């Protein structure tokens, strides 16, 4: 990792820049895939599986049968099934507490307003294939969808890992399809003969999947959030344990060569210690080459004061932020830009990735300045409701009339005036 000591604030924007991603070229490659699926449906999906994944997948094989999903449980160890079930319980409990009771507010006598939550009717979950079967993401996306009451939960994944199927059963996924890449996003966005069209698409993926999500979003299909490579920032002082810090840095670096990790500290000694143990731990990783490539894009930054560290971290807006410092909770109150925060030496980011209860689908690439991570709210719409009694209209009506008249919207005013006149006729003074 690159070590930078006491950078000037004017250097921060360049210092904190993520690895550059060329989106134009990727979008140009993805757009024809979307068009092919939109026009060709299931046949196109079969053709694209052959082209990109070298898989002979007939139209009939796109859908994963109920028998296959049921059989997955027997293929997993009891230990893993117990772990998945415990993670399910923790994540469900945390998200269940996010439900908000309906509260009716009388804004003035006779005028009552409230808001109700309604689950998005059809949602799509994308789970990548590759070297890591992300069954944890099935839990992170499926549980809030289940709690929200989404009627149709469609899952697309190129992976046939039994843990993914087992988790899909737990969270109540209604349909699972063997479809990967940009074509999976297209299938859920447009619908095919087999794949139902959904109203919102969730889930991580490579740069082609991300580009596909962004392109369909331009056409009116909702997505969870803009996404980029995974990242972690760690603020550590001399109370931190260097081996723990190094392990946390590597836990994100092993996601992919385009991941980025950042260490910020006021302690030169801590940075040196972490750098030494990082090298040792890296040599033991099965995904060593991938993590090493990510570390080339990563930095250790020595700053003068805690105030500098906080400002720098807020400027970076990390997906994951670990505070391995003495006063972690107090500092967390000063963090305004982060996807998820982890406090103290014994709160590894890995816990949030799997089983503590919080959601691991988080804004990356600086989007934490404006976006939240996935939650129960991501799967619901908020619909406002109001009811006005005759007396309430007599109270609020003159306000509406005055405002409508001032905006030269006579029909708006008339909709109120007619009713007020009717009330006056029915109840003459």
pLDDT in tens, 409-421: 999 999 999 999 9
| Mean pLDDT, rounded, for 357-375 | 96
What's the pLDDT score for residue 47? Answer: 95
Same domain flag for 139 and 257:
no
Beta sheet of 299-302, edge-to-edge order: 2-5, 299-302, 260-265, 231-236, 318-324, 338-343
* Amino acid 129: pLDDT: 85
Same domain assignment for residues 157 and 257: no
Q: Residues annotated as binding site for NAD(+)?
A: 126, 183, 206
Domain count, the chain: 3
pLDDT given for residue 21 in this prediction: 66
**pTM above 0.85?**
yes
Q: Are residues 341 and 410 in the same domain?
A: no
Burial 302-330 (b: 16+ CB within 10 A, else e): bbeebebbbebbbebbbbbbbbbbeebee
User: CA nearest 251: which of 328, 354, 181, 167?
Assistant: 354
State the pLDDT confidence band at 255, using cuts at 50, 70 and 90. confident
The total number of residues written for the chain in this structure: 429
Asked whether 238 and 345 are in contact (CB, 8 A), the reply is no
Within a domain: 115: no
Do 312 and 268 belong together in one domain?
Answer: yes
Annotated binding site: 126, 183, 206, 230, 252, 255, 320, 353, 407, 412
Q: How confident is the model at residue 88 (pLDDT cuts 50, 70, 90)?
A: very high
Containing structural domain, residue 7 = 2-21+228-357
Catalytic status, residue 319: yes
Q: Which of 319, 349, 360, 405 is catalytic?
A: 319
Is the residue at 382 inside a domain? no
Looking at the fold, whether 259 and 318 belong to one and the same domain comes out as: yes
pLDDT at residue number 259:
87
Residues 219 and 235 both lie in one domain? no
Please give the pLDDT value at position 323.
Answer: 98
Given a cut of 80, is residue 131 above it in pLDDT? no
Write down the catalytic residue from 161, 231, 254, 320: 320
Q: What is the pLDDT of residues 271-328, one digit of tens each?
A: 999 999 999 999 999 989 989 999 988 999 999 999 999 999 999 999 999 999 999 9
> What is the per-residue pLDDT across 323-340, written as a single tens digit (0 to 9) for each?
999 999 999 999 999 999
pLDDT attached to residue 13: 95
> How far is Cα 234 from Cα 313, in angstroms, rounded to an integer?
9
Q: Are residues 44 and 156 in the same domain?
A: yes
Percent of the chain at pLDDT exceeding 70: 99
| Same-domain status, 254 and 313 | yes
Residue 281: the pLDDT is 96
Half-sphere exposure at residue 111, Cβ-oriented, CA atoms within 13 angstroms: 11
* CA pair distance 364, 251, nearest whole angstrom: 16
Question: Could you tell me the CA-to-CA distances from 27 to 24, 142, 198, 206, 219 in Å, in that order?
Answer: 5, 28, 22, 12, 14
Domain-located, residue 363: no
| pLDDT surpassing 90 at residue 31 | yes
254 is catalytic: no
48 and 7: one domain?
no
Domain boundary pick from 177, 203, 223: 223
- Binding-site residues for substrate sit at 230, 252, 255, 320, 353, 407, 412
Residue 135 in domain: yes
């Amino acid at each position: 990792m690159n070590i930078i000591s006491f950078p000037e604030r004017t250097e921060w924007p360049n210092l904190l820049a993520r690895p550059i991603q060329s989106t134009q070229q990727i979008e140009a490659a993805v757009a024809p895939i979307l068009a092919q699926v939109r026009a060709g449906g299931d046949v196109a999906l079969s053709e694209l599986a052959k082209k990109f994944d070298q898989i002979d997948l007939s139209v009939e094989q796109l859908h994963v049968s109920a028998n296959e999903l049921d059989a997955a449980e027997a293929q997993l160890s009891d230990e893993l099934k117990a772990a998945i079930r415990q993670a399910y319980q923790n994540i469900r409990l945390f998200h269940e507490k996010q439900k908000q009771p309906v509260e009716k507010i009388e804004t003035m006598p006779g005028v009552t307003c409230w808001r109700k939550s309604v689950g998005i009717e059809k949602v799509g979950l994308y789970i990548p294939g590759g070297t890591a079967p992300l069954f944890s993401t099935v839990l992170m996306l499926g549980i809030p969808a289940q709690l929200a009451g989404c009627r149709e939960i469609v899952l697309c994944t190129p992976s046939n890992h039994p843990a993914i199927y087992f988790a899909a059963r737990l969270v109540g996924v209604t349909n699972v399809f063997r479809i990967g890449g940009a074509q999976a996003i297209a299938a859920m966005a447009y619908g095919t003969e087999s794949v139902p069209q959904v109203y919102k698409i969730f889930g991580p993926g490579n740069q082609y999947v991300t580009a596909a999500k962004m392109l369909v979003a331009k056409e009116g299909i909702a997505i969870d959030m803009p996404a980029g490579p995974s990242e972690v920032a760690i603020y550590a002082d001399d109370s931190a344990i260097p081996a723990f810090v190094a392990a946390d840095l590597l836990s994100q670096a092993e996601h992919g060569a385009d991941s980025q990790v950042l260490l910020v500290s006021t302690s030169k000694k801590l940075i040196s210690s972490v750098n030494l143990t990082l090298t040792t731990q890296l040599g033991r990783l099965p995904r060593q080459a991938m993590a090493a490539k990510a570390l080339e894009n990563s930095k250790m930054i020595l700053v003068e004061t805690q105030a500098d560290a906080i400002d720098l971290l807020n400027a970076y807006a990390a997906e994951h932020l670990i505070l391995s410092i003495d006063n972690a909770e107090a500092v967390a109150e000063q963090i305004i830009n982060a996807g998820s925060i982890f406090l103290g030496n014994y709160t590894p980011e890995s816990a949030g990735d799997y089983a503590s209860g919080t959601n691991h689908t988080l804004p990356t690439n600086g989007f934490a300045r404006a976006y939240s991570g996935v939650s129960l709210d991501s799967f619901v719409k908020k619909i406002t409701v109001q009811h006005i009694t005759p007396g309430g209209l007599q109270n609020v009506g003159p306000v509406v009339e005055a405002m409508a008249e001032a905006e030269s919207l006579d029909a708006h005013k008339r909709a109120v005036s007619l009713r007020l006149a009717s009330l006056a006729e029915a109840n003459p003074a």
